[in-house]
Amino acid sequence: MKEPEKSLYIRVIELALKYPKGFKSADILDNNKLNLEDWERSIVMRHFKNACDHSNWNDSTKGETIFLFIHGNHSQANSPDNMYMLTFDAEFTFIDFLELKFARENAREARTLSNRAIWISIIAIIVSALVPIVTASLMTQTVKIDDNQFRSSFTSAMPALSSSTSVMTK
């Protein structure tokens, strides 16, 4: 089954890179991993034909191709004797694809982490606002002093007050 994110070219390039010493057209066209539909097969076949034409006419301006004809019968693109390789442009396109895919994954992960950090900071702000309020409501005590306590504290403080006023008058 084809991955929806990969175009025909990326899938073909990915498969062709598994043949570093070259490949035949059948290695690509008849590969079960690619599972090419008829219209995809005709596009890939056109690339093989253009690679043969470039070699035959020694002219790389006629038709674009991702393949480079190495040796064989350049007058027949699907000859079993023909060997092909990927062009440098095709390989660099694949590298660019991998870099873009990696950058997208990193961006997705960074976004997830930044959203988590934002939520953690919002929770921290709410907690830091609530802690003093809760602390004040739970920790404050109402102190009641009756008349006897007030008088006893007042009379115990009186000798100290009278001695300090006597020092000041002297």
pLDDT digits (tens, 9 = 90+) for 96-120: 999 999 999 999 999 999 999 999 9
Q: Is the Cβ–Cβ distance between 17 and 86 less than 8 Å? A: yes
The model's pTM is: 0.63
Supply the pLDDT for residue 103. Answer: 96
Q: Distance between CA 84 and CA 76 in Å, rounded? A: 13
Q: Distance between CA 79 and CA 61 in Å, rounded? A: 23
Res. 160 pLDDT band, cuts 50 70 90 = low
What is the average pLDDT score of the chain? Answer: 84
Please give the backbone phi and psi of residue 23, each rounded to the nearest 5 degrees, phi first. Answer: -150, 160
Per-residue pLDDT of 106-159, as tens digits, reads 999 999 999 999 999 999 999 999 998 888 878 777 778 788 877 777 676 666
Q: Distance between CA 123 and CA 101 in Å, rounded? A: 33
